[in-house]
Amino acid sequence: MDGNNNLVIRTELLLKREKELADYSQRSFGESIKRLREEKGEDKFRTPFQRDRDRIVHSRAFRRLMHKTQVFTSTKGDHYRTRLTHTMEVMQIARSLARNLGLNEELTEAIALGHDLGHTPFGHVGERTLHDILSGHTPFPGSDIKPFNYVGGFKHNFQSLHVVDNLEQVYEEYSGLNLTFAVREGIFKHTNSKISVYRKNQKGKVDRKKEKVYYANLNLSKMTLDKPSFSLEGQAVAVADEIAQRTHDLEDGFRAKFIDVNDLVNEPLVNTVIKEFDIDVKGKNPAQLRSTLIRKLIQKLVTDVLEQTNINLTAIKEIHKGKYPEHFEDIIIWFSETIDTQQESLQRYITDSVVSSLEVSRMDCKAEKLIQQLFWSYFQGPQQLPDNILEKHYIPQKGYFKRKDIAEEITILQNDPKFIRLICDHISGMTDQYAFQEYNSLFLPNNK
């Protein structure tokens, strides 16, 4: 048997596996596998979603997740989550959901691995800080001057799509990873399209509100902003992200000794798990209790999602007269109403006990100031940006890049939204360590 026949058989085996999936899952054909740019030739060893997964894993943005904060910085200790370990845990939970529901596991895996590629250094405070700057709410340090108004804002799911569509440089023919539509849409839709911020109202009081985000060079064609992911694989990743955050932020809070067990057992979800699994809270040492609670919390949340999803699928099939829609417009994969209320309560408890702790609050304030200082330093002195960053701005416009031109064009650059977004891209891609190094290099004497 020659090599070509082996390849054909391999492809047929891959597609045969997909035929065994549930009726409501995504397959490797049609709209789901369309890419932004047409590619020559086919990979006969892998499905399109497997190719996407591999492209993400081998990307530079994926490697950098290892050194980006989840809640605690990497200097806190070896056993605390990073953005990479969080990503892997989301992937594992999402694949478990996909396997039990008969979904496309390769698509689910690719979405999960790519969902946080656009996250900033220092966790969500980095996201909020960049959004405040790019939405015109942050003045120059030590002044009331705001050099520009709204230029789109920032949110990590927009940035994740921006990374895979534009920022990763792998191919000579085009920028980005050129992923399939289903993976791109799932990455973008793993969270909502608006960012939660705190703003002063007309009475001077601070209110929480949601603001729109806009990226001028992002292709959001066929991605309805106010709808969940059209694929159940994308929805599986979205709920897996929530499960991972609740349980693993809680575990890290336990490890950091920010969690009071006596308070925690009063949380409805934790109390439900303790009773359902007959956990001896007083008879276990802290490490054993932590491990048992986290394991059983994950089990409870995953089981609840599977049970509620099956109920939702039955209902949607009846609505569509015995068939499933090709594209889902409503949330199908989610918690039951009771568990949803309980997990939201647990999230508030984690925020109060861990995210609002003295240690995390101080680190957040440091990170906010550091990112602001980096941004305004680059904005005022573009010459301080590395050559490879400046080339991204100059070469597409002029076909060449010369450092001597920058001094004469500073005002032009400062009024160019594309250049402002470029600074944001540079900072958001930094690891925690690189951001510290860059700050020291720019602002501390005797640092190069």
- Of 1-15, 200-214, 343-357, minimum mean pLDDT range: 1-15
Report DSSP letters for 380-446, one per residue: H-GGGS-HHHHHHHHHHHHS---GGGTGGGHHHHHT-HHHHHHHHHHHHT--HHHHHHHHHHHHSTT
Average pLDDT over residues 330-341: 98
- Please name the residues in contact with 322: beta carbons below 8 A apart, sequence gap of 6 or more: none
Q: With 70 as the cut, is the pLDDT of residue 6 above it? A: no
Highest mean pLDDT among 36-45, 256-265, 314-323, 424-433 belongs to 424-433
- 291-314 burial by CB neighbour count: b if 16+ within 10 A, else e? ebbbebbbebbbebbeebbeebbe
The CATH T-level fold of domain 1-378 is Hypothetical protein af1432 (1.10.3210)
- Say how far apart CA 408 and CA 159 lie, in whole Å: 31
Q: With 50 as the cut, is the pLDDT of residue 1 above it? A: no
Pairing of strands 194-200, 206-212: antiparallel
Q: Express each pLDDT in 122-179 by its tens digit.
A: 999 999 999 999 999 888 777 777 778 889 999 999 999 999 999 998 888 889 999 9
Summary mean pLDDT of the chain: 91
Q: pLDDT at position 248, please?
A: 95
- Say how far apart CA 170 and CA 282 lie, in whole Å: 55
Question: 160 pairs with which residues across the strands?
Answer: none
Q: pLDDT at position 205, please?
A: 83
Confidence of residue 282 (pLDDT cuts 50, 70, 90): confident
Q: With 60 as the cut, is the pLDDT of residue 2 above it? A: no
Whether 379 and 371 have beta carbons less than 8 Å apart is answered as no
Q: Which has the closest alpha carbon to 214: 103, 266, 293, 136? A: 136
Average pLDDT over residues 356-382: 94
Q: Express each pLDDT in 220-278 by its tens digit.
A: 999 989 999 999 999 999 999 999 999 999 999 989 899 888 889 999 999 999 999 99
Q: pLDDT at position 195, please?
A: 94
Tokens of 230: 């059209």
- Of 23-37, 40-54, 99-113, 305-319, minimum mean pLDDT range: 40-54
Tokens of 195: 């960012």
Whether 229 and 190 have beta carbons less than 8 Å apart is answered as yes
- Indicate the domain borders of the chain: 1-378, 379-443
Q: Express each pLDDT in 55-68 by its tens digit.
A: 999 999 999 999 99
- Say how far apart CA 415 and CA 390 lie, in whole Å: 16
- Say how far apart CA 309 and CA 380 lie, in whole Å: 52
- Say how far apart CA 108 and CA 26 lie, in whole Å: 10
Confidence of residue 396 (pLDDT cuts 50, 70, 90): confident
- Say how far apart CA 238 and CA 94 lie, in whole Å: 8
Q: Which has the higher per-residue pLDDT, 198 or 23?
A: 23
Q: Express each pLDDT in 32-54 by its tens digit.
A: 999 999 888 777 788 899 999 99
- Say how far apart CA 207 and CA 201 lie, in whole Å: 7
Give the number of residues written for the chain.
Answer: 448
